[in-house]
Amino acid sequence: MNLIRLLLLALGIWLLTLVVKRYLAAAGRKRGGTPRIGTMVRCAVCGLHVPEAEAVKRRDQYFCSAEHRDKASV
Ligand SMILES: [Zn+2]
């Protein structure tokens, strides 16, 4: 009888960890639908929002591309 109880307990714990793992995975997917990209900045020419890491920066202005940076300097 004790062995059965132990087995049921182990099964219960296993199921619990399975559910928790699934829940955490689902929550992680929901939170990180897109990979972490940091701050979004706005292009000073077209207004497009681009990740700061991909933006072209000049002084205190950001641009979506080098073309727009050049366009702004004209
Ligand atoms: Zn732009």
Alpha carbon of 30 to ligand 1 centroid (Å)? 29
Q: Are 57 and 73 in contact (CB under 8 A)?
A: no
Q: 38-68 burial by CB neighbour count: b if 16+ within 10 A, else e?
A: eeebebbbeeeebeeeebbeeeebbbbbeeb
- pTM, two decimals, is 0.49
End-to-end CA distance of the chain: 85
Task: Give residue-wise pLDDT tens across range 19-71.
Answer: 999 988 888 777 655 556 589 999 999 999 999 999 999 988 999 999 999 99
Alpha carbon of 46 to ligand 1 centroid (Å)? 4
Q: How many CB atoms lie within 10 A of CB 71?
A: 13
Alpha carbon of 65 to ligand 1 centroid (Å)? 6
**Integer Cα distance of 42 and 57 in angstroms:** 11
Alpha carbon of 56 to ligand 1 centroid (Å)? 9
